[in-house]
Amino acid sequence: MIDALHIPDFPMQRTCPFDPPQEYAKLRVEHPVSQVRAPTGQIAWLVTRYEDIRMLLNDPRVSADRRHPNMPLTEEVTPQTRRNIAEVGRSLIGLDRPEHGPRRKMLMAEFTVRRMAAMRPHIQHTADELIDAMLAGPREVDLLTALALPTPTRTLCELLGLSYDARDIIQRSANAQLRRSVSAEERQQTSAELRAYVDQVVREKTAAPTDEDLLGRLVLSNRETGLYDHELMVGLTMLLLVAGHETTASMIALGVTGLLQQPEKIPGIVADPAAAAAAVEELLRYFTVVDALPRVAVGDIEVGGVTIRADEGILLSFASANWDDEAFPDAATLDLARPARKHLAFGYGIHQCIGQNLAREELHIVFRTLFSRIPTLRLGADLDDLPFKKDSNIYGIDALPVTW
Ligand code: HEM
C-alpha cells in the first residue's frame, strides 16, 4: 500500500499534452483504488479502473451531495465559494436519489433529441458566420477565440434565451471557476459576478416567461411542479452555463488539434456523417476533458481490494477509465474509427451529462464545417509549444494558432 506519509497530491500532472497523467496507468494495475491529497488538504480515494468507476456510479452508497464536508474539491475555495458550490449542486448535480429524479426529469424535457435537432440550424449558422469572419481576415487566427469559445457561448445563449452581450461575463466566470491557479478570492468574485447577472435574468424570465427559450419554459413548467424556487433556478442556470460552455469549447480546440495529427483521415470525416460521429466519440474518449468527479461514500463499500468507509471522499478518474486497456484495447492510440461510444467522457449513471447530445451536435457540425470550408487548415505552431492548460479542472488549450 502507499505510505500514509507520502500520499500523492491530486490532481496529478500531465507530462505529454495528449496523455492523462502517467501515474494512472501504474495505479490501474497496482493500486486501482488509492489515497490522494486534494488541494484543500482533504484525503480522498482515487478510483482509476473503468469497471470500478461504473460500478460506483450505479451504487446508491455513493453520494454527489456537495454539502458534505468531506466532498473532495480539486481547487482551493473560500467558505463562501464552498457554499456557492453546494447551492449550485442542490439544483441538480449534487442531488442524490430520490430527489434527483424529478428535477432531472423536468430538465430532460429540454434536452430531447427533437429539441437538440432543432438547435442544428442555429449551430450551423453560428459556425458558418464565425468561419466567414476567419476567412475575411489574415490567414493566421487563434481558433480558440475565433471559433471554439464563441460556438458554445452563442449556442447556450440561444438555448437559454440570454443576450449574447453576456458572453464576457459567462466566459470569464466559467474560466475562473475551473482554474486552480486563480486565487480563491478571484474565483469567489467572478462567481458572484455571474450569480448577480443570472439572478437578474431569472427575475426577468419569471416576470414574463415565454415558451421560446429554455429558461422561460422551465419557469412555466415549474409553476405546475413547484420543484424550483428562485435560488434553485439561479443555481441551475449557473450550472448549465458553467457545465455547457468550457467543456465544449475545450473539446472543439483539442478535437481540431487531434484531427490535425491524422490529416489523411479528415476528408473521410468531412464526407461521411457516420465517420464524423465515430470520430467525435473517439475524440471525447481520448481527451476526456472532465477528469475527476467528486463523490462521498455514505456506507462502507468494497472496491478494487480496499474498503471505502462511510463519509470518506472519492475521486473518480474518467480520464483514467477512458484509457483503461481492459475497456478500450490499445487505449492510448487515437483511432478515429474505433467504436468508442461506451466511454465515460460524459460520466455515467444518474448524473450522466444532460447536455451530451447538444455537445455532440456542436462538435459534429464544427469539425465538418471547418475542414470542408478550410481543407488546408494546419497548426500555426509546433504541437509541443501550444499552451495546454495545466491548472484547469477542464482540460484544454489557452490559445490555438492555426493557418491555411
Ligand atoms: C463536451 C462537452 C461536455 C462534457 C465533456 C461534459 C461532461 C459532463 C460530465 C462528466 C458530467 C457528469 C458529472 C457528474 O457525474 O458529477 C456532466 C454532467 C452535466 N452536464 Fe455536461 N458535459 C459537456 C457538455 C454539456 C452541455 C453542452 C450542457 C448543457 C448545456 C451540460 C450540462 C450538464 C449538466 C446539467 C450536468 C449534470 C447532470 C445531472 O446531475 O443530472 N454539459 N457533464
Per-residue pLDDT of the chain (404 residues; tens, 9 = 90+): 445 568 999 999 999 999 999 999 999 999 999 999 998 889 999 999 999 999 999 999 999 999 999 999 887 777 877 888 888 899 999 999 999 999 999 999 999 988 998 999 999 999 999 999 999 999 999 999 999 999 999 999 999 999 988 888 888 887 777 677 778 788 788 888 899 999 999 999 999 999 999 999 999 999 999 999 999 999 999 999 988 989 999 999 999 999 999 999 999 999 999 999 999 999 999 999 999 999 999 999 999 999 999 999 999 999 999 999 999 999 999 999 999 999 999 999 999 999 999 999 999 999 999 999 999 999 999 999 999 998 888 999 999 999 99
CA distance 304 to 326: 14
Give me the half-sphere count of Cα atoms (radius 13 Å) on the Cβ side of residue 291: 26
Q: How far apart are CA 217 and CA 394, in angstroms?
A: 30
Residue with CA closest to ligand 1 atom 20: 353
The CA 346 to ligand 1 mean position distance, Å, reads 6
Q: Is the CB of 253 under 6 A from ligand 1?
A: no
How many A from CA of 352 to the centre of ligand 1?
Answer: 7
Q: Which atom of ligand 1 is nearest to the CA of 64?
A: 16
Nearest CA to ligand 1 atom 30: 244
How far apart CA 284 and CA 288 sit, in angstroms, is 6
d(CA 245, CA 27): 31
- 145: DSSP letter: I
* Residue that has been written with the C-alpha cell 460556438 in this structure: 151
Q: Is 92 in the pocket of ligand 1 (CB under 6 A)?
A: yes
Angle (deg, nearest 10), helices 230-260 and 214-225? 140
Residues contacting residue 342 through CB under 8 Å, at least 6 positions apart: 327
User: pLDDT tens digit string along 196-227?
Assistant: 999 999 999 999 999 999 999 999 999 999 99
Convert the pLDDT of each residue in 38-84 to its tens digit: 988 899 999 999 999 999 999 999 999 999 999 998 877 778 778 88
Provide the sign of the torsion angle of the four alpha carbons 79, 89, 178, 52, taken in this order: positive
Which residue type is seen at 247?
T
**Predicted pLDDT of residue 338:** 97
Q: Are 174 and 183 in contact (CB under 8 A)?
A: no
Indicate whether residue 188 lines ligand 1 (CB < 6 A). no
Give the separation between CA 78 and CA 176, rounded to whole angstroms: 14
Q: Which of 81, 90, 98 is nearest to 236 (CA)?
A: 90
Strand 301-303 and strand 292-297: the pairing is unpaired
Protein residue closest via CA to atom 15 of ligand 1: 351
- Residue among 107, 247, 248 to mutate when testing ligand 1 (max atoms within 8 A of CB): 247
Q: Give the CATH superfamily of 4-403.
A: Cytochrome P450 (1.10.630.10)
C-alpha radius of gyration, the chain, whole number: 21
**Count of C-beta atoms within a 10 Å radius of residue 403:** 14
Query: What whole-number percentage of the chain has pLDDT above 70?
Result: 99
Phi-psi category of 387—alpha, beta or left, where left has phi over 0 and alpha has psi -120 to 50? beta
Domain boundaries, the chain: 4-403
pLDDT of residue 1: 46
Helix (H) / strand (E) element for 401: namely strand 401-403
